[in-house]
């Protein structure tokens, strides 16, 4: 097992054992060659790396090992010296099944690598906090697992007979940055990591040659965005658990006698079923 994986596992154990612990001294990991190289390889394996951000660089520009080595070295130097600044994302509209269009924000390759590295640092910590009702964009969780969970609950024995589906309209586009950063601070006290996250979500976007500020939201298409959305919506999951999910069998039976239904939450990113 390499040092990167050992570090991630130590974060997960620490987070699970100490729910109130705030992690510091993390930024140096984002600057490590091993972490940046691992992040770059993960980005290049994704078919999305064929699409360029506003700088025009895509996977084909890093086809050989020497180009990748230079890329990592230059990015590492920018991060260590504090000269790294994310670029605005390139907005692209893609069609949805219902005939409408969904905005996609395509970061530069450099920003995708930084986002991936930050994700590698943060994800093991929050994976120890997330509840089992959350399925979307999590390691080890598949869409079919979410569907299977819903099916298994619709039984006479469980006494759940209906599925109500909901969607949080424009969830990614309306994430409030101040609230998001406040939630991240509950676990992270490294100001430079917090600064990286804030810089990514406030970098703005380019559309039709025009720059637009992004006072709210986290762009769909960003590697870090699904994790940030889950951190944001984890507060909703916690509210459900404290009010409904932690009810004892006796409490649920009493509610049924009173004609009050019980419900179980199943969330896949911004799609909600209960």
**What pTM was estimated for this model as a whole?**
0.91
pLDDT at 96: 79
Domain hosting 15: range is 3-273
pLDDT at 24: 96
Q: Where are the alpha helices (DSSP H) in 154-212?
A: 177-185, 191-201
pLDDT at 145: 82
What's the structural domain count of the chain? Answer: 1
* Cα-based torsion angle of the residue sequence 75, 79, 82, 86 in order, rounded to the nearest 10 degrees: 70
pLDDT at 266: 84
> What's the chain's Rg over C-alpha atoms?
21
pLDDT at 272: 60
- Distance between CA 76 and CA 114 in Å, rounded? 10
C-alpha separations of 252 from 7, 81, 158, 178, 258 in Å: 42, 57, 11, 37, 10
pLDDT at 1: 57
pLDDT at 135: 87
Using 50 as the pLDDT threshold, list the residues of the chain that sit under it.
Answer: none
């Amino acid at each position: 097992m390499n040092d990167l994986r050992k570090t991630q596992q130590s974060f997960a154990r620490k987070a699970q054992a100490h729910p109130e612990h705030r992690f510091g001294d993390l930024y140096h990991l984002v600057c490590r060659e091993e972490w940046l190289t691992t992040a770059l390889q993960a980005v290049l394996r994704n078919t999305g790396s064929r699409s360029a951000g506003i700088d025009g660089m895509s996977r084909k520009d890093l086809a050989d090992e020497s180009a990748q080595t230079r890329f990592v070295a230059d990015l590492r130097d920018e991060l260590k010296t504090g000269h790294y600044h994310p670029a605005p994302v390139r907005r692209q509209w893609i069609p949805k099944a219902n005939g409408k269009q969904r905005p996609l924000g395509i970061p530069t390759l450099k920003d995708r690598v930084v986002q991936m590295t930050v994700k590698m640092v943060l994800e093991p910590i929050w994976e120890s906090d997330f509840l089992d009702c959350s399925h979307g964009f999590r390691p080890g969780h598949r869409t079919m697992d979410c569907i299977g969970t819903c099916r298994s609950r619709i039984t006479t024995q469980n006494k759940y007979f209906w599925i109500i589906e909901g969607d949080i309209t424009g969830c990614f586009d309306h994430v409030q940055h101040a609230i998001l950063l406040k939630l991240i601070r509950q676990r992270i006290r490294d100001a430079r990591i917090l600064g990286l996250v804030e810089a990514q979500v406030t970098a703005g976007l380019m559309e039709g040659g025009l720059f637009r500020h992004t006072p709210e939201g986290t762009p769909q298409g960003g590697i870090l965005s699904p994790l940030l959305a889950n951190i944001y919506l984890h507060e909703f999951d916690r509210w459900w658990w404290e009010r409904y999910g932690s009810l004892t069998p006796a409490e649920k039976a009493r509610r049924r006698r009173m004609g009050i239904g019980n419900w179980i939450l199943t969330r896949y990113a911004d799609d909600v079923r209960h």
